[in-house]
Amino acid sequence: MALLTDQDRQTITAHLAPISKRVDVLLFTQTIGGSESGLIAKQVVDEVASLNDKITVVDKSFVLDTEDRAKYGVDKAPALVVLADGADTRIRFYGANTGYEFVSLIEAVLLAGTGNLELEPESIAALAAVDKPMHIQVFSTPT
């Protein structure tokens, strides 16, 4: 059964229409010993990808694809890594991406696909001065 209603699909399709770059969403899941949320994450990203032909879901094994895990710093599953024209956006999602996180996923895909950073100029200037690795973790819940 689809997670998105027809109305959802229409709204999100219109929202993602400005995408001009290729967006790859790498989905790392663990089939054996993994949680059910991996299946939900898969359904969520597959439904989003079905709304725009520039979006592709690339399935990765959390257990077997160790090189990609290391490359993208993925240390838990399910995980989503968002790429823009093959380049790492350094945006990650850990969990099933339902509820509020679904909106964040849509916005991340839109950012990757358009390159339009919707931050204040002052924020962009302040962030440009970051010259050391900075790791931001935002904890939220689906509801």
Task: List residues binding another protein (CB under 8 A).
Answer: 35, 37, 73, 76, 89-96, 101, 104, 111-112, 117, 119-120, 122-124, 126-128, 130-142
**Minimum Å distance from CB 26 to another protein?**
14
Based on CB atoms, which residue is closest to another protein, 53 or 120?
120
Listed residue (94, 89, 63) closest to 79, CA to CA: 94
Based on CB atoms, which residue is closest to another protein, 6 or 134?
134
Which three-class secondary structure state does DSSP give residue 75? coil
**Minimum Å distance from CB 30 to another protein?**
12
Cβ atoms within 10 Å, residue 117: 9
Based on CB atoms, which residue is closest to another protein, 62 or 94?
94
**Minimum Å distance from CB 9 to another protein?**
23
Identify whether the C-beta of residue 139 lies closer than 8 Å to the C-beta of residue 93.
Answer: no
Is the alpha carbon torsion for 75, 76, 77, 82 positive or negative? negative
